[in-house]
A and B are shown apart, each in its own frame.
Chain A
């Protein structure tokens, strides 16, 4: 029996080529999408699951308690020590600092200099917690002695080739000389932590004098038992904080984040040294999109099957007169659907393999094709196959099996009634979804465009930042500045701790005579930096040119937001003493107009340039006139190498760096675009098939109308209008929905576009155009056919 059903289904597939192709293609696109996304989700969820202590490891999060409530992943350096000593549940604690607070290290091995982006200063306990496997030399214990270092396997190879790295010495930024003591296995690709070089944290000044204010150290805890009572521990931590920091000086409190959440739930946290961050919202959105596309494909299937219900009904009728029961018919339709989805599945698998590199490229992932053949994927495929078949098959199976044979066989009854209403409903659902996606893509692109073109209050174009952290001594740095100043296409040069678009030092500023404080970003820099950035001076002056060594006086140039917080006008603020953790001798020297020093997700906060020497100036900022870029760069590199032969030339352009701030949105836009296109294609496939069917079904009507004088355009209009009406209904449904959804998305930006009516106009026009092209082809084909033919065949 089942063999006979499969035979019927297979032959019917072959006879109805167009329908089969449309169905299978649509389904396989849907399935391929689902498959790729499932791979992606699986990969994202697998992060950090390989660590034996995964249920015992927690990261300490710092939550600021002042006006802009933020969560930071860094904690003060005293936290790990105090918690380990005072909370018995904690087996060990460790601190992690990325070199130079997130910067690049310059590692010299004999003659060569490497720019190393993954040098971490770590406590030994962190390596123990994370099962770091030593393949050569000594293990984590070396981090308990200064001037040692561990390298990853691939880094050892990069530095020393095939030579034995153990016992070699390296210099870090020309300051620290360290000896390679061991080599560890590279971190797995789905580990949040990823070190190339690990040096002892105890070499850092923060380790020598642990404090409660500089929150720059990621602190990890390992508990004695899995899943500790977090609330209880957090209360104890608060107790420890209260003991060490006076209540009114506490600008933060602590919470704990389990390791399994670090990858997906940290995207809104500030300044993490962990670069492999995922985003749970992205996963949720993509899951929704995948389901949507699959549903659209299933709808196509149901539509096309029921569109042929006339033929189907006759089939059902015949089979019933031959003795088939309702159950037989239901089984038959499910088998037919199962067969089609199985074919689509295979094709979808092939599509997924082909499309994976493209997806990796667009989404910035490195998913591996071989993982397509894992047990999870196979189980998932079978499950999806089952669900898809069940959903797609349910409507034809349950609807058509109810036909009584007599009605089914009577040629004149109209069985299309209910089916056609459902069918139209399904088309509306499909198109509404597509239009929402189209609008989404347009709004995302508009917002990105807006971000890229918004006036930021400073000029990031034609500015290069060169990392100078490996250059020691004021003389060499001054020589560098002088050399660059002499270059023909350089207009201004200045040294600075950081630049807009990158995090600098976070401090807090106190409003005099009140308890009010506010977070402020402070940037040690030279006078010229304001000119490099082309900031607008509102009052006072830029930082003074020369400062004597040992001078405790600190001059500060703040932005407008800062003086607004202080309740002063720019002019009033000049010369006022400020309490912003820069000593007791800090005065406002100038006020500049606000500028967007962080991403446009955030409103502008307080910012200060100062000339205290608490932090090093690690960057040389250069404003150049717009010349041929490759020449400019090689010219710059030569100049740099002349003065600092021991340092690698590491640079970035400020405007390029800014684009990185919106990388996530750019990715979202790209992925969204891809999926929208797929969804629209699948929906169009369905519409195309349906239009073909309609034209076929109405060919007699068309013939009669033509015999009675209808023109071709009239008939095209007749056939297209039905569909146009459906699309119009879809627009009415999708517009408010899209408006709501995209408005929610825009809330993430402090600076955002408003959604204008033109977006809807474009999306609507696009949808109508696509419909017209899809349906029009079939309509014209039917309309120009010779009526005699269509009437005779009946």
Chain B
């Protein structure tokens, strides 16, 4: 029996643009079980990123219910929400968003610093991650010295270092060539097998195919 990781109940997000009320997400109902690999698909502007941001607690639903691991996120205080977020969620971005001034090693280490993990433990965890992603030789390089694929690899490693239950990936291969894309997707599939829940937004049919479930969005609605 799989546990429910999160569930959305008529979740809605509207924003005011000038005098118009624009509905970005419209009554979304969604259950995500632990261990799922979901691909969000849809044209630009359909609400994929907004949905990811809201699930990732970088943004709020304006209406409806959002439960994460049985806890009602929508009625939570900012502080608890950020705690939850720190503990369980990792992010992967299309533009990698590595910190330019930090080396590969230091980039991967950063989330642990924010979690106040002890130095010796941090070392072991980062070393582990470098090993696993086969980038030990690159640990002292800066992001600018890496190819896009390698940067994204670091991005994924950084997202994983905190041992999150859920990885949110917004077009993780959008800036990569097809070979690099494939590598990242293989990696995701592998992680998913190991039990990490993944939700990715993508334009690519082939990428979406790696997932266990595809959700199509159009104009903020699931279709």
Contact = CB atoms under 8 A, between A and B. Distances in A.
Interface string B69-94: 00000000000001001100001010
A323 B162 contact: yes
A628 interface: no
B115 interface: yes
Contacts of B110: 4, 319, 322
Nearest to B144: A15
A667 interface: no
B102 A323 contact: no
B182 to A, nearest CB: 26
Given A4-B106, A315-B99, A322 B158 contact: yes
B114 A324 contact: yes
Contacts of A7: 101-102, 106
B163 interface: no
Contacts of B58: 321, 404-406
B115 A323 contact: yes
Contacts of A409: 93, 97
B113 interface: yes
Category for how many chain A residues contact B:
20 to 34
Interface in A693-727: none
Given A15-B100, A323-B115, A328-B114, A406 B106 contact: no
B4 interface: no
B59 interface: yes
Given A323-B114, A323-B115, A328-B114, A8 B101 contact: yes
Interface residues of B, number: 26
Contacts of B114: 1, 319, 322-325, 328
Nearest to A2: B113
17 contacts: A1-B113, A4-B102, A4-B106, A4-B109, A4-B110, A4-B113, A8-B99, A12-B100, A317-B97, A319-B99, A322-B114, A323-B114, A323-B115, A328-B114, A404-B58, A406-B53, A409-B97
Contacts of A325: 82, 114
Interface in A402-416: 404-406, 409, 411
A321 B101 contact: no
Contacts of B101: 7-8, 11-12, 15
A404 B59 CA distance: 9
Nearest to A325: B82
Contacts, number: 58
B106 A318 contact: no
A404 B100 CA distance: 20
B140 to A, nearest CB: 13
B99 A323 contact: no
Interface string A297-338: 000000000000000001101110111110010000000000
B148 interface: no
A409 B116 CA distance: 24
A323 B106 contact: no
Contact of A314 (B56, B91, B97, B115): B97
A444 B93 CA distance: 62
Contacts of B82: 323, 325
Contacts of A15: 100-101
Contacts of B106: 4, 7
Kindly list the 3 A-B residue pairs having the minimum CB-CB distance in the complex, ordered from nearest: A323-B114, A11-B101, A323-B86
Interface in A1-26: 1, 4, 7-8, 11-12, 15
Nearest to B58: A406
Contacts of B115: 323
A406 B58 CA distance: 6
Most B-side CB within 10 Å, residue of A323, A404, A409:
A323
B64 interface: no
Nearest to A314: B97
Contacts of A321: 56, 58, 91, 97
A8 B102 contact: yes
B174 interface: no
Nearest to B170: A409
B107 to A, nearest CB: 9
Contact of A406 (B59, B98, B100, B158): B59
B111 interface: yes
Contacts of A328: 114
A318 B162 contact: no
Contact of B99 (A318, A404, A406, A411): A318
A317 B106 CA distance: 17
B23 to A, nearest CB: 18
A15 B101 CA distance: 8
